Amino acid sequence: MAVERTLSIIKPDGVEKAIVGRIISRFETAGLKPVALRMTHLSVREAEGFYAVHRARPFFADLVRSMTLGPVVLMVLEGEGAVARNREIMGATDPKKAAEGTIRKEFATDIEKNTVHGSDSVENARIEISYFFPESAVHPYEWKRRS
């Protein structure tokens, strides 16, 4: 399987629940390494732009509201089949339908406060990563001292 990159977001409810470390640990344990990582508090404009594909959906306003309620952690994860692997680790969108052992099953409050975002395809991952991170901010591990 190919090495891929995917965008992961620990949503405001995940930060509020103080499980950032545990979530990142799950990804690392599964072979998905953070290669870019930063914390931010999304503005309404940033959240609307990020979720533009969902603009016509009835839950769009609630989604934007829940993504701007508090800080988030943005990450690029890299690894074999990272897009699908991340989705497996996250679990289904609705935590009531999420499989045992997934992040959403274990930590999500409901479909709105569902703790994590993950890109749904390699192409969308590329678009979502570039929304938040320039290529110069992505750092695959390199055992090499810089001058």
Q: What are the residues binding ligand IDP (CB under 6 A)?
A: 54, 59, 62-63, 93, 111-112, 114, 117, 120
From 41, 54, 117, 139, active-site residue: 117
Binder of residue 112, out of ligand IDP, Mg ion, none (CB less than 5 to 8 A by kind): ligand IDP
Q: ∠ CA 138-8-91 to the nearest 5 degrees? A: 150
Binder of residue 59, out of Mg ion, ligand IDP, none (CB less than 5 to 8 A by kind): ligand IDP
Sheet holding 3-10, edge to edge: 33-40, 72-80, 3-10, 116-118
CA distance 71 to 53: 22
Q: Using CB under 5 A, which residues numbered 110 to 129 contact Mg ion?
A: 120
Shortest Å, Cβ 28 to Mg ion: 23
Is 54 among the residues known to form the active site? no
In sequence order, what are the residues at sequence separation of 6 or more whose Cβ sits closer than 8 angstroms to the Cβ of residue 120? Answer: 83, 87
Give me Rg for the CA atoms of the chain: 15
Pick 36 or 63: Cβ nearer ligand IDP = 63
**Catalytic (active-site) positions:** 117
Residues lying near Mg ion in the complex (CB under 5 A) are found at 120
